[in-house]
Structure 1
């Protein structure tokens, strides 16, 4: 097979070791020009050679062979660069021409690699390892963004365990895991996760609704297919609580159907997954819900007396607010004695049975009870805005 990188092999393996004592200004300018010309030459020769292949498989082998060689050459440059040099890989020194040649060589190799990834994307091996310098730069950037995301999610009142699960892939990438886990595909996935969470933060600024933020995070994690064990354990535990908070077996089965419908309707980004070897995040949750449905259904068959035989029910009233906002509003109405009641429990059950919310549909009495007694600042602000809206409207009538 034709190999287009012989110049870079010779430059790294022969020229650099013999030049560590120092490089003159004249020699630096000469090698700088050669590196630039050879980088362009490699691209030109590869384009010409690709058109000589009669089969796609030949092109794939040729491209991936050069991809692997470029990464190996880039990594071999680390023998000549210290930490400071790596951190300033794109900035040339005024005096140290040897370091500058190492940097220019790396940049030339990186440009060829990026060119291959861009113009031969269908043949590029995205499961291949990242170049070490690329990996170190990516880790530094992701660590910074992870800290910012963590702070913004905590400020939004998001559940601490959910924050840990959402950001865990970012933190694992920064740790000393095997190199094979730091692939192009993994980095692309992580950058998309960061982008989606950043956009969520920008959209959610000021609305202060913790429940909506957590629902949006769930949608993002399903969209990007965060199919991890921690994701599965967290959400199946949440769903189990919601199901068990329903009063009867029939209501539990109805809740499961509602959860399955909502999850089935969530979008998935084609070709994206934290792990390609595991079923999708949506599929693992739907499978768990189906198993729960079978189990609870079998209990209903064994205990027919527990089967509900309700009379004709009136259609519940749908409200364009969240469960947390409804709980807060009810609590304020009771505390200000606008509602005079004997039992908080009966009030909660009544509203859960006769009202639905725009996001969750049928309301679980247990979920409404939690929000009734535990009002966070974001929810209180959202309800306050709603009351101001009503007050403003009343002045028009």
Structure 2
């Protein structure tokens, strides 16, 4: 069957799309999340993200395979950085944009990208790669894949693997935060206690809320905090104010927001999603500077919450090394790239072979810096 391109996810029945998601469902792949990005204007052609979702139906009309996809005119909001590839193409007179990206916008979270039955996904992939020249795009990129997609893409000719490294916290059956602290070296325990005491000494209290419990005024505050993290760096935020209200309407059960309050006044927030046994910390913001408040709101509060709720993992976002000394362990991530131009493909393949070795070495070194006790 021919591959269809869907330019607006809201035109597809959510039950069809979500019916392809493996169980337990990750929140970022749900129809509610992806359609909220589009319907809020956060993801659209004007922002350089033109939806081009791929669908494959059987002879009976049933949706058999799909992938969230976008025609990109830039590389912002992807967290797999290929600016150097684009610059090299420009110098060589090769068009790098538009490119086709299979990913979740603004969300560096590994998960399913190729949805549906094995045979149907293989058919979708084959047709996709063959249509690049006709579509006028330089290549197809699949970011932050799960093991199923890794195995499938590794077995196909022409696909290039890229590694990245993130830091995730794992719940090993801790009874409470103190139980977690007891697994750390003495020096690191003291450092974490000191950081938490410094925040408490500023009169901070924390309040966890689910999506259905927030008023529109509170969503105004959430967005203002989120947007401020971009404004202070001279950038525009990716997400519009409408995105938060739409998401709260469509999947409130997956939303968690923790407010930091000084007295009765909210001063900061961290926005997270829950699903598939994990807590995903996504957005943070503060309207004034407070010592150590970021670490408490974004990391320690999340660890506390994950333990209390019996969640197995806490993914607090893409960046870095400051998580390592707080018990977040290095985890390799993968993306895959199919480049139409043979010269570009050869050059990138050579670069990625060296980069993969460096990333693996970095992750091994990072593990040595973890704060856990090495008894015996």
Q: TM-score range by the shorter chain?
A: under 0.3
Higher relative contact order (CA 8 A, sep 6+): 2
**TM-score of the superposition, structure 2-length normalised?**
0.23
Over alpha carbons, which structure has the higher Rg? 1
Larger relative helix fraction: 1
